[in-house]
Amino acid sequence: MKLHRYENRSEMGTAAGRAVEAKLLELLRTKEGLRVIFAAAPSQSDTLAYLRKSNQIPWRRITAFHMDEYIGLSDSSPALFSNFLRHHLFDHVSFKAVHYINGLAEIDAEIARYSALLQENPIDLVCLGIGENGHIAFNDPPVADFLDISAVKKVELDLICRQQQVNDGCFENFEEVPKQAITLTIPTIINASHLICVVPGQTKKAAVHDTLFGPISTACPASFLRTLNNCDLFVDHESSPEIQVLKDRASKDIVINEVICVDEIYGVDFILPADFPTKTYLAPGLVDLQINGINGIDFNSMELTKEDVLAATQYLLSKGVTLFCPTLITGTKDTMFHLLGVIRDACEVYPLVNDCVLGVHLEGPFISPEDGARGAHPKDCIQNPSLGFLEEAIAISDNRIALITLAPERENSLEFIAACVDKGIKVAIGHSMAKLEDIKASVEAGLSMVTHLGNAVPLMLKRHPNILWDLLAEENLSASLIADGCHVPDEFLKVAFKIKGDKSFLVSDATAFAGMPPGEYDAHIGGKVVLEANGKLSMKGSNGMLAGAAKDLLQNVEYLLDSNLLSLSDAWVKGSVIPARYIYGDNFRIKDRVIFEKSATGITIRQVIKSNKTVYAADIVVNASLH
């Protein structure tokens, strides 16, 4: 939702009218005709007055609907919403067609008739307001339903709603206000291509506050509007709550002990209530380029379902991760391609998953078969890079391969790297025993990153030269690091961060065991694994050989803070901004935002805003089917 504030009601109404006019003209450039729903209330009078006088809008290409109507009022009643719209707009311009709700007709038949009209084609624009009780149309809190299966329904009006009609001067006293109405439902309204919401007046101030900052709940039906990226909210001075409009105050993306701005290049101003706690932070969403699973869900299990991918996505959002790469490690071709298909299906079925999965990370099968370098990857599935494999993977995933980790010393690697880069796929070195000449040649071919630097190498290396020195020294390579206190020592993290600077960032390398209690578990790769209380995950009986990680990316950020390795600002940037820019380019800015609190016990995620929609809020369930 975008908020537009004006000093007075007249300025607000005119600005909203211009916005409606501009949106109609924009849409008519690509469509023969439009379908528009209008609200009827005194709050809309200034906007309708502007539209009535407009000489820009070709009304004959527009079909009009009205939003709700009282049951039982006579055709001549000035309080009838259809009469209000006739007086303020409909009798003054020549629409292609106008469809009214008839509150005197047989109710079920009228609901069926009007529903059929609405559902003939999509609605292009809705002009609406918000009630004193937070209603949109006549969806008062007792009857509002975000998942309503009806397009139109009969409702009982609550007491606050009926009193508002008296406050607005539509009726002389409370007893005159009808108790029932026919209304468009919330899904009918919010599924329009665009919404312009106009809310003036002191009596609406509390409702506007709850719409912007309160729980997303039918207790304030309009609160759902803020999850939409196609809604503009116009308020005047009287209806606007006390807020903070965030402005740029620093070059970094998070400022310690302050709330940060959102990059205005993208035209988005985030707002917060005036009493936003000083110990609360607003930051870019975390970005995890290497995650094998989470909270009992394994992206590498043949039992993986698209519902599992959705559940994993929702769990990651609760940890502040708004973009991630499901990571498939070395397996049989059939297994890896099956899993690619499951992830593809999840992206196609669930918009929320599609918005969060920036692409798949293939960590294999083109890695070194040598012990130590290959880690827990099954040796019998490792192979040389294959262009045929690549083409099939791209096709099966529907072009969702974002990153491939390989060992560049393997045959065909240089040709393979060049082909990936040509297709927009990033290539990293990992699980490798490459010599310096292999590294240099692969960088020239387009290799750009080191996967979990410091890991997937033998326990014993020559003092020098060795692959770690070579990778640290290569200035053209970015480096991902696992900062969980188990994979590499703090001293190595310090060195890597200092040498690689803004080319170093965090990945979790989390497995399905992240989020689970300590104990012994059976893993389909690596067999029996042991999860210790400190988060270390190792293959049982392997002298401590790691079997992936058991901490999520947020816990990696917390580890850096607890160990005094980085400041909050620097640690968060390494978990968000830098990996995003590695994938998308230096000018990329994350639009997703995470609101969190920091205390002595750690970081608590309070709200996650993605694509201008609230996709996670503590103690609030946001239904994934709506996203």
Alpha helix positions (H), 29-178: 45-53, 81-85, 107-118, 159-167
Residue 318, amino acid: S
Identity of residue 83: N
User: Which residues belong to the active site?
Assistant: 509
SS3 98: strand
Tokens of 221: 């039906």
Burial of 614 (0-12, 13-18, 19+ CB in 10 A): buried
Quickly list H helices, 29-141. 45-53, 81-85, 107-118
Token output for 360: 């798949």
Instruction: Let me know how long the chain is.
Output: 627
| 234, 156 contact by CB (below 8 A) | no
List CB contacts of 145: < 8 A, sequence separation 6 or more.
139, 185, 186, 218
Residue 206 CA neighbour count, 13 Å, CB half? 7
Give the residue among 229, 96, 170 at the shortest CA–CA distance from 610: 229
Q: How far apart are CA 180 and CA 332, in angstroms?
A: 63
Residue reference for tokens 């690509």: 30
User: 527 forms bridges with which residues in the sheet?
Assistant: 523
- Please tell me whether residue 293 adopts helix, strand or coil conformation: strand
Measured CA to CA, the distance from residue 606 to residue 246 in angstroms comes to 18
In angstroms, rounded to a whole number, what is the distance separating the alpha carbons of residues 607 and 188?
Answer: 27
Residue 106 in tokens = 């047989």
For residue 88, the 8-state DSSP code is I
User: CB-based burial of residue 14 (10 Å sphere; 0-12 exposed, 13-18 middle, 19+ buried)?
Assistant: middle
Residues 6+ apart with CB under 8 A from 3: 212, 233, 235, 269, 271
Closest CA to 387 of 422, 361, 360: 422
Long-range CB contacts (within 8 A, 24+) of 199-202 = 199/43, 199/129, 199/130, 199/233, 199/234, 199/235, 199/239, 200/9, 200/12, 200/13, 200/43, 200/46, 200/235, 200/236, 200/238, 200/239, 201/9, 201/43, 201/236, 201/238, 201/239, 202/238, 202/239
User: E strand or H helix at 356, and its extent?
Assistant: helix 351-356
Q: Tell me how far apart the alpha carbons of residues 89 and 39 are, in angstroms, rounded to a whole number.
A: 11
